[in-house]
Amino acid sequence: MSTDKKIALISGANKGIGLETARQLGKLGMTVVLGARDLAKGQAATDELKKEGIDARAVKLDVVNPEDVKAVAKTIEKEFGRLDILVNNAGVSFEGVGGNSTLSVSEENLRTTFDTNFFAVVSVTRALLPLLKKSEAGRIVNVSSILGSLSLHATEGSPIYEAKVFAYDASKAALNAFTIHLAHELKGTKIKVNSAHPGWVKTDMGTDAAPMELVDGAKTEVDLATLGADGPNGGFFHMGETISW
């Protein structure tokens, strides 16, 4: 089924920043496809958006499950024939906040974090790229974190200098490298790839101690998902400001 509406897929979209990103894109008149590990939770989130007049669909998408990734790509191809926006939002952290976990984080947690925050993003993006290439203006948004900035981690006195949650930080730094490399490979096409730092947001991961509300936490992702032809490619941003790699 073809449609003139833009089609956006957001992973990890049944709650938090992912759901708010879907809400804001939906209010712009897009069809939003909510990827969720638990389809029932994804459907509940979809029902919530539909009550707000948003065209929303739910799909089962555990980003570390290759069968889910293949199935979602087939579903989008069958129902829409293309994909305009991919927001790689799904992410995990097992280390808490603050301190330095470089020597204390378990190898299991290190691998599990990378599986979701890095390897899965590469897999999902590769699977959806043929459909993004069919868009008139494909946009890929990799939801990263300022904690993935190597420059700021190495700069004494920076806002994140003392906050070294190793597995999470390293996985987001790797994700940023993927953004740079993919943007370069797609240079000259109509697809733009950027990393977003949402900010410290009140979510399950961010906790209630975070200073930002969800509505603001989704703004950077939405801005990068709706870039015009003259917008940046291969950058790292928060609220329109560039973050150093």
Helix (H, G, I), strand (E, B) or coil at 104: coil
Residues in the chain: 245
Output phi, psi for 111, to 5 deg: -65, -40
Non-local (6+) Cβ contacts of 6 within 8 A are 29, 30, 31, 84, 85
Say how far apart CA 60 and CA 35 lie, in whole Å: 6
Spot the catalytic one: 168, 178, 200, 236.
168
Non-local (6+) Cβ contacts of 12 within 8 A are 18, 35, 36, 37, 63, 89, 90, 91
Instruction: Assess contact for 147 and 91: CB atoms under 8 A.
Output: no
**169-to-37, 64, 144 alpha-carbon distances in Å:** 23, 19, 9
Q: Is 199 left (phi over 0), alpha (psi -120 to 50) or beta?
A: left
Known catalytic residue: 168?
yes
In the block, residue with structure tokens 């992410």: 91
**224-to-24, 69, 96, 104, 157 alpha-carbon distances in Å:** 12, 23, 28, 35, 29
By annotation, the residues acting in catalysis are: 168
